[in-house]
Amino acid sequence: MTKLSLSDNLILMAELDAALAATTPEPATSVSLVRSDRKCRRHEWLREDLSAVCLRCGVLQDLVRSRRGKSAHRLGGDQERRAEKRYGWRKIGEYGDVDDLRGRLMKVQQKSTRAAAPLRWKRIFAALAGTNDGRVPALLLSYVRQGVPVEDFIVVRGEDWLALHGKDE
């Protein structure tokens, strides 16, 4: 079997599409091998030189988009390992549970970002830490809506948590 180039493959697919468009449609009960407009769940790339096309759906590969998912996945794993070392938790994210890290006291789902911490939070913690009275700065986030019980979340900096409790081993 002869291997076709990417451009030959695209020409043949266009000719096949034109030939199929000229035929009368089959009944709805029959199975059709015509490519649908739906995207693949997982592309099968045919690479030639610097470009690639999916053999299943014909879409051209976007290298920037492909890289984005890998970088985000790597960031999550890297930060879980960092938290494991710093806070003493055990990394269990790869086992499919809701929590990514687990210790004696806590179970943690970690969310990581390359963005800077919210400036509003940084200012609040700087003001609270500036009083130097020996108390731990904490931020209480209250989500208030009519007809729904208030939900509170307490935010404590990691360094303050370690000073209070040490590692959760």
Residue-range domain boundaries for the chain: 1-24+37-61, 69-114, 116-169
Quote the tokens at residue 8: 């030959």
**The pLDDT of residue 37:** 63
CB distance 71 to 89 below 8 Å: no
**The pLDDT of residue 7:** 80
**The pLDDT of residue 118:** 92
Q: Give 123-162 as a DSSP string.
A: HHHHHHHTT-SSPPPEEEEEEEETTEEEEEEEEE-HHHHH
The yes-or-no verdict on residue 29 having pLDDT over 60 is no
**The pLDDT of residue 122:** 92
CB distance 83 to 110 below 8 Å: yes
**The pLDDT of residue 139:** 92
The yes-or-no verdict on residue 33 having pLDDT over 60 is no
- Is residue 100 packed enough to be buried (19+ CB in 10 Å), middle (13-18) or exposed (0-12)? buried
CB distance 87 to 168 below 8 Å: yes
CA distance 154 to 146: 21
Label residue 52 by pLDDT band (50, 70, 90): confident
The yes-or-no verdict on residue 63 having pLDDT over 60 is yes
CA distance 167 to 83: 10
Label residue 26 by pLDDT band (50, 70, 90): low
